[in-house]
Amino acid sequence: MKTYNRFFYTICLIMFFGFVFSQQVPGKEQSKSILISNGILHVGNGELLENAFVGFENGKINYVSNKQPDKDYQINIDATNKHIYPGFIALNTSLGLGEIDAVRATIDEDEIGDFLPHVRSIIAYNAESKVVETMRMNGVLISQIAPNGGIISGSSSVVQLDAWNWEDAVISYDQGIHLNWPSPYSRSGYSYYRGPSVIKKSEKYESNIEEIKNFFDSSKAYLNEPNPNPVSLPYKAMSSVFSGRSTVFLHANYEKQIKDGVKFLQEQKIKNIVVVGGTNSLQAGDFLANNNIKIALEQPHNLPTMEDEDVKSRFKLASQLIDKGVTVALDPTGEMTRMNTRNLPFFAGSFAAYGVDKEKAVETITLNAAKVLGIEDSYGSIELGKSATLFISLGDALDMRTNNLSHAYIDGREISLETNQTKLWKRYKKKVEEEKSN
**Mean per-residue pLDDT for 76-96?**
96
User: Is the confidence at residue 141, as pLDDT, over 60?
Assistant: yes
Choice among 73-87, 184-198, 237-251, 321-335 with the minimum mean pLDDT:
184-198
**Rounded distance between C-alpha atoms, residue 419 and residue 212, angstroms:** 43
The predicted structure's pLDDT at residue 229: 87
Name the burial class of residue 209, with classes exposed (0-12), middle (13-18) and buried (19+) by CB atoms within 10 angstroms of its CB.
Answer: middle
Average pLDDT, the chain: 91
Sequence-ordered list of residues with C-beta below 8 angstroms from that of 176, at least 6 positions apart, any chain = 144, 146, 155, 156, 246, 247, 248, 249, 274, 373
Q: Report how far apart, in Å, the C-alpha atoms of 93 and of each of 24, 84, 121, 336, 340 are.
A: 22, 25, 11, 11, 10
**Mean per-residue pLDDT for 361-378?**
98
Closest CA to 342 of 197, 131, 62, 110: 131
Percent with pLDDT over 70 in the chain: 92
Confidence of residue 7 (pLDDT cuts 50, 70, 90): low
The predicted structure's pLDDT at residue 303: 86
User: Is the confidence at residue 81, as pLDDT, over 90?
Assistant: yes
Confidence of residue 20 (pLDDT cuts 50, 70, 90): very low
Strands 75-78 and 390-393: unpaired
- Amino acid identity, residue 412? G
How many Cβ atoms sit within 10 Å of the Cβ of residue 228?
13
* 150 within 8 A of 221, measured Cβ to Cβ: no
Confidence of residue 16 (pLDDT cuts 50, 70, 90): very low
Chain Cα centroid distance, residue 203 = 34
**Rounded distance between C-alpha atoms, residue 260 and residue 266, angstroms:** 10
The predicted structure's pLDDT at residue 2: 54
Interval 263-315: pLDDT, tens: 999 999 999 999 999 999 999 999 999 999 999 999 999 988 887 888 999 99
The predicted structure's pLDDT at residue 335: 77
**Rounded distance between C-alpha atoms, residue 285 and residue 300, angstroms:** 17
Strands 247-252 and 170-180: parallel
Chain Cα centroid distance, residue 81 = 29
Closest CA to 367 of 285, 294, 417: 294
The predicted structure's pLDDT at residue 417: 93
Confidence of residue 3 (pLDDT cuts 50, 70, 90): low
Confidence of residue 359 (pLDDT cuts 50, 70, 90): very high
* 393 within 8 A of 404, measured Cβ to Cβ: yes
Choice among 9-18, 45-54, 173-182, 375-384 with the minimum mean pLDDT:
9-18
Confidence of residue 330 (pLDDT cuts 50, 70, 90): very high
The predicted structure's pLDDT at residue 217: 96
The residue with greater pLDDT, 387 or 24, is 387
Interval 144-181: pLDDT, tens: 999 999 999 999 999 999 999 999 999 999 999 999 99
Sketch out the chain's domains with CATH numbers. 26-87+380-438 (2.30.40.10), 89-182+226-379 (3.20.20.140)
The predicted structure's pLDDT at residue 14: 46
The residue with greater pLDDT, 227 or 238, is 238
Interval 392-413: pLDDT, tens: 999 999 999 999 999 999 999 9
User: Is the confidence at residue 11, as pLDDT, over 80?
Assistant: no
